[in-house]
């Protein structure tokens, strides 16, 4: 089973995840005891989930890619589909990699647009896609600009924070040679999708895969960058995009989840997966 890279820690304990086997997506709950509470099929064949967010009314918004490209859907806790929207672009591939759900039930989603010939992860010039849906799944705003590997989070002070790769390297081959670190980009957006500010992220380098991001206590965000050949990075940024601390928790892919200052970092390794819980400071590793 492939698990989505985003964990969602439930308010009353437990961890929710979205995953898939073949073309069947699943909704999974792990109780606080560590035991599996349930594994339920999601009623959307072909959905490859990248993230899962709770809605104000107790339902869930799941997003990723489907047969027609970028896909977002609202489901209940039994996995039943309430609505689904896809965002195909003619002759181009699309996927959603990050998203947030606002207090009124609307959602903002971020993802990639790229040429099919670049492969499944879009290694080459592409665009970042930012979309806002109302609570019924109708598109109310959309922005597209150069970038790739876009993820999204809403900080506790209400800021909508987007991180993506601005593709500052001359060619994709320069990124793959690892001779120079090309920084990611952080932006703040309003709920109406108006750009507020942009900052470079020298502590988090562009990678083959997108980073993970969660809101930090009070304001700002915590970012986890998966290390492909280089070490992974875990860093905290304030409300203006300034880096406050940085840690390097080894080499390997992983996932970051949590809320209200309680975080979980899961990383794969030669001896199996490791789970590290931490609060406002990085884990000592």
Number of domains the chain contains: 1
How many other C-beta atoms are found inside a 10 Å radius of the C-beta of residue 238?
14
pLDDT of residue 207: 79
Domain annotation covers residue 219: no
What global pTM score does this model have? 0.85
Kindly state whether residue 217 falls inside one of the protein's structural domains: no
Q: Is residue 215 part of a domain?
A: no
Angle at 162 between CA 210 and CA 53, to 5 degrees: 80
Nearest to 98 by CA among 63, 140, 71: 63
Cβ–Cβ under 8 Å, residues 234 and 221: no
Predicted confidence at residue 15, as pLDDT, reads: 81
pLDDT of residue 168: 77
Query: How far is residue 49's CA from residue 61's CA, in Å, rounded to a whole number?
Result: 10
106 occurs within a structural domain: yes
Is 233 contained in some domain? no
What is the domain extent for residue 83?
2-206
Query: Is residue 103 domain-resident?
Result: yes
Phi first, then psi, for residue 173 (nearest 5°) are -60, -30
Question: Residue 7 sits in a domain of what CATH number?
Answer: 2.120.10.30
Q: 9-33 b/e with 16+ CB inside 10 Å = b? A: beeeebbbbbbbeeeebbbbbbeee
Q: What distance in Å separates the CA atoms of residue 152 and residue 188, rounded to the nearest whole number?
A: 10
172 within some domain: yes
> CA-to-CA distance for 57 and 94, rounded, in angstroms?
28
Cα separation, 42 vs 211, in Å, equals 25
- Looking at the domain assignment, is residue 125 inside a domain? yes
Question: How would you write the pLDDT of the chain (285 residues) with one tens digit per residue?
Answer: 555 555 666 666 778 888 888 899 999 998 888 788 999 999 999 999 988 999 999 999 999 999 888 999 999 999 999 999 999 887 788 899 999 999 999 999 999 988 765 555 555 568 999 999 999 999 999 999 999 889 999 999 999 999 999 987 766 666 666 656 788 999 999 999 999 999 999 888 887 778 888 888 889 998 988 765 557 888 999 999 999 988 887 656 667 766 666 776 766 666 665 667 777 655 444
């Amino acid at each position: 089973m492939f698990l989505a890279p985003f964990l969602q820690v439930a308010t009353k304990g437990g961890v929710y995840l979205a995953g898939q086997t073949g073309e069947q997506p699943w909704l999974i709950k792990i109780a606080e005891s560590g035991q599996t509470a349930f594994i339920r099929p999601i009623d959307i064949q072909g959905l490859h989930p990248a993230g899962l967010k709770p809605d104000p009314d107790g339902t869930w918004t799941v997003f990723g890619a489907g047969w027609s490209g970028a896909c977002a859907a609202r489901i209940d806790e039994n996995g039943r589909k309430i609505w689904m929207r896809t965002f195909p672009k003619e002759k181009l591939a699309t996927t959603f990699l990050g998203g947030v759900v606002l207090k009124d039930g609307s959602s903002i989603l971020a993802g990639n647009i790229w040429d099919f010939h670049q492969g499944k992860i879009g290694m080459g010039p592409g665009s970042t896609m930012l979309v806002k849906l109302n609570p019924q799944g109708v598109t109310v705003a959309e922005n597209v600009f150069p970038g790739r590997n876009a993820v999204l989070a809403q900080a506790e002070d209400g800021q909508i924070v987007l991180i993506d790769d601005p593709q500052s390297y001359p060619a994709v081959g320069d990124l793959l040679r690892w001779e120079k670190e090309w920084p990611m980009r952080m932006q703040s957006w309003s709920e109406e999708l108006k750009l507020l500010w942009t900052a470079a992220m020298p502590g988090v380098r562009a990678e083959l895969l997108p980073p993970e991001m969660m809101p930090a206590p009070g304001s700002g965000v915590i970012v986890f960058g998966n290390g492909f050949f280089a070490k992974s990075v875990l860093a905290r940024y304030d409300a203006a995009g300034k880096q406050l601390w940085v840690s390097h928790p080894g080499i390997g892919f992983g996932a970051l989840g949590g809320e209200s200052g309680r975080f979980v970092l899961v990383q794969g390794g030669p001896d199996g997966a490791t789970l590290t819980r931490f609060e406002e400071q990085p884990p000592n590793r």
